[in-house]
Structures are given as structure tokens and as C-alpha cells.
Amino acid sequence: MEFALLSPFLLLLALGVAEFGWLIINSVMVTNVAASGARFFAGQRGTTTPYSDTNTQIKASASSLKPSNLSYATSVGNASCSTDATCALDLNNAVKNGAVTSATVTVTYSAYKPLLAGAFPGVSNLLPQSLSATAVERVQ
């Protein structure tokens, strides 16, 4: 009798733990992809294709995610760059006069789907539809 009364609550608790775990796992993966991209991007001073190479690094780091649903933005200092030419110029100018400049990579994953969205219609409204992470590294 007691089990029949408590089992729905225990099942709901177990499913909630699973859903929260799925969210945390995906969030950590996006954060790791951003960190990997920022480390790589910060070391691209002196190359001609830093933006394209960073794109390749981000996609390679996101093996567990759907790479086609990743978008990213790069910046050097306070200036965003979205082409190889502007990123190369900004990275090369970043260390002039002994200044310390940071390289920033922001990654957004737009394909996050709750684990149990079909089973509980309201769950997808409570959880984020996309995950985003920003990582900053010093230009080397």
C-alpha cells in the first residue's frame, strides 16, 4: 500500500535527477568546447587562418555534441573578429608594446533537448533551449 502511494513520487524524483544530470553533462561539454577553442585561438598569433583553424578545433572538440548546431564568436581584446584576416591582424597586434591581451571564444549549442521532453510536456519550458559558454585566454 505504501509503495503504491510513494512510487509515483520516487519515479518523478529519479526522472528529475536524470534530467538535471543530462543538463549538467551537456553544459560541461559546451564549456569544455569553449575552453578548448579559446586555448587554441589564443595560440594562433602568427598564423594566416586563425578563425578557420579555431572553427576546426571547436568542431573536433565537440565530438559528443552535434557540431552542426554549434555557433561561436571570437574576439581579441574588446574587438570581435569573424574572418581570418581580421583575427590574424588582431592577434598579431595583441602583444605589441608588451600589453597583455585576451582572446575570447563564446560557444552556443542550440540543439539541447531535454531528455524527457516527450514524456512531460511542461519540462521543455522549464529548461534552457540552448547552452552557451565563454572562455578567455591570454594571447600567446
Cα–Cα distance, 89 to 85 (Å, whole number): 6
pTM, rounded to two decimals = 0.85
Q: Give the DSSP letter string of 67-122.
A: GGGEEEEEEETTEEE-SHHHHHHHHHHTTGGG---EEEEEEEETT---TTTTTSTT
Cα–Cα distance, 55 to 73 (Å, whole number): 10
> Helices 84-93 and 50-61 sit at what angle, rounded to 10 degrees?
100
Q: Is 134 helix (H, G, I), strand (E, B) or coil?
A: strand
From first to last of its 140 residues, what are the pLDDT tens digits of the chain?
788 889 989 988 888 888 888 889 989 999 999 999 999 999 998 899 999 999 999 999 988 888 888 899 999 988 999 999 999 999 988 887 677 889 999 999 987 777 776 666 776 677 788 899 999 999 98
